Amino acid sequence: MRVLFLGDIVGRAARQAVIEAVPVLRTELACDFVIANCENAAGGFGVTPPICEALFAAGIDVLTTGNHAFDKSEISPYMASQPRLLRPANMNAAFPGSGHVIIQNEKGQRLGVMNIMANLFMAENENAFACADKLLAEMVLGEAVDALVLDFHGEATSEKCAMGFHMDGRASLVVGTHTHIPTSDTRILPNGTAYQSDAGMCGDYNSVIGMQKEAATGRFNGQPAGKLAVATGTPSLCGVLVDISPDTGLATEVRQIRKDGVLAPAS
């Protein structure tokens, strides 16, 4: 089985690039499933039902989110009715929607996807590791699912690394989102779980994590330069591609995907 995971989609230009690229990537890379984080797809903050529908129509099987999941109020009823749009499982239970899903493709392959928010430097939520263990009880590799992917949405690379090892041997892929910068630690952990601390973003890298440079830089140097707005240059598409054994559900190969924009390509 082959699964493509695309990092945080930031703004209109990036989502249009993703919509155009996913059908091509599914064919060129022979993907069985595609997952993407969409929490910044609507103007950099949140996502709307029409955007989700367009991303699903392009061939994305599951959409994950993070701390910006509910920035757009209209997403709440849609989240409650669309099981393939996830919000972090360890958010307060009062939030609509779910943090995990199992889907099946035409080949009969079963993919489990988990979406969990980290605890360090993030809003207060249930302990991420305890949440992962609870979800794993429902999504055992080789029993309930043939492959399992965790989008771990968080700030600290240390916490992400710890989650990778916590899940090692129990998931096919643990990949971080939220920081929008692709890390170079792509590898298979000792017990067979593919790992990368952050997938990076689908967005314009001639920016500050997807936002126009002037306003973002002004917030750091004490010279505010207006409201944050999404950078509108050519986006790079960043993600992770993992091959998964049909016998064990563990990774046999993993590599970065980077195309277009100002970043060096990888495939």
CA distance 112 to 174: 12
Give the pair of three-digit tokens for residue 231: 């950078």
Largest CA distance in the chain: 57
Which residue has 């990774």 as its token pair?
Answer: 251
Using DSSP bridges, classify how beta strands 251-259 and 194-196 pair: parallel, antiparallel or unpaired.
Answer: unpaired
The number of beta carbons lying within 10 Å of the beta carbon of residue 222 is 6
Nearest to 136 by CA among 172, 162, 108, 160: 172
Q: Find out whether 259 and 18 touch, Cβ atoms under 8 Å.
A: no
CB 260 within 8 A of CB 252: no
Residue in the structure block whose two tokens are 């993992």:
242
Supply the Cα-derived Rg of the chain in whole angstroms: 17
**Residues tagged active-site:** 68
SS3 sequence, 152-217? EECCCHHHHHHHHHHHCCCCCEEEEECCCCCCCCCEECCCCCEEECCCCEEECCCCECCECHHHHH
